[in-house]
Amino acid sequence: MKIKKIKNPSLYDIEVNIHYPYENPEVNRVVIALHSLNISVLCKKQNTKYIISASDIYYIESVDKKTFVCLEKDVLSTHNPLYQLLEDLKSAGFVQISKSCLLNINALEKIRPLFNSRMEAYLSNGEKLLITRKYLNSIKNMLNGEES
Amino acid sequence: MKKRLITFAKNTLITTGFTLILLAGFALVVGGCAIYVKTIFEALLVNVCIQLSYLLTQKIETSYFILDAFIDITSIVIIALLFGKLFDWFISTPAWVLITISIMTYIACFLFQIVRVKDDIDFINEKLSQKRK
């Protein structure tokens, strides 16, 4: 993949054009990565509001009707419900892995099967999450670039 | 949607086939020599209903694997017994045979699914390692 940077003072914002000979998963991954830079989530921690870029989020978990946004080493809360976040962040590479958890596919290192028909996801920050069998196909499709 | 329908039909035919083989096995043990043609279609109908109920029970997600399995098995056994009563199966087949067949079919499908999940995990890990290169 060739990356070309062109400075153009007449533009108001960064413009990205992707040229490709044919559509493949790599193209979709580039699109997802760019989308994740563009999408952000409004979060809160100790009464201070933060705008967090989707690419900085590792996973989002819902516990007792509260939604927590987990970064590499920090956890913030958000008012947005999980289903709304899934809609907003799908194009940024987020996928549902259980009833209460969304995972950023870019943070996923590997998956290991567990005996009880569930799976364990190993994240790049060393954390582990449970994956329900029902959602395994979403991860497969996302990696195949079908859900972008 | 089309893919889901195909998977549904495939799973139904697999479990129907397995159920009939087990039924034939039990019949052989007790000295039976034939299965009625209508039994084949009745078994197909029961398996369609079991697959539909499985789609519903899959939506129930608890933190305990044992509880999930208990919900699945209970719904399967209830459906099998209800249809057993409806089709008068208990005249020739005791209820415990029906329950055993239902549980054995569930275990066989569960083991088959473990293999399928393992393949999916290998595929995902392969894709992830390609992505890192």
**Residues in A 117-146 with any Cβ partner in B closer than 8 A:** 117-119, 132-134, 136-137, 139-140, 143-144
Asked if residue A88 lies in contact with residue A39, where contact means CB atoms within 8 angstroms, the answer is yes
Give the mean model confidence (pLDDT) for residues B4-33.
90
User: For the stretch A78-101, what's the b/e string if a residue is b when 16 or more beta carbons lie within 10 angstroms of its beta carbon?
Assistant: bebebeebbeebbbbbbbbbbebb
Q: How far is A113 from chain B (nearest CA, A)?
A: 7
Residue ranges in chain A modelled with pLDDT below 50: 147-148
pLDDT in the model for residue B19: 93
- Give the ipTM: 0.74
Q: At what angle do helices B2-29 and B37-57 cross, to 10 degrees?
A: 130
Q: Which of B102, B106, B112, B127 is nearest to A141 (CA)?
A: B127
pLDDT in tens, B73-113: 999 999 999 999 999 988 888 899 999 999 999 999 888 88
B117:A29 CB<8 A: no
**Rounded to whole angstroms, how far apart are CA atoms A73 and A33?**
21
Phi, psi torsion values for B75, nearest 5 degrees: -65, -40
Contacts of A143 in chain B (CB under 8 A): 124, 127-128, 131
Q: Residue with structure tokens 């995990």?
A: B121
Strands (E) in chain B, as ranges, are none
Give the mean model confidence (pLDDT) for residues B9-20.
93
Give the mean model confidence (pLDDT) for residues B122-131.
89
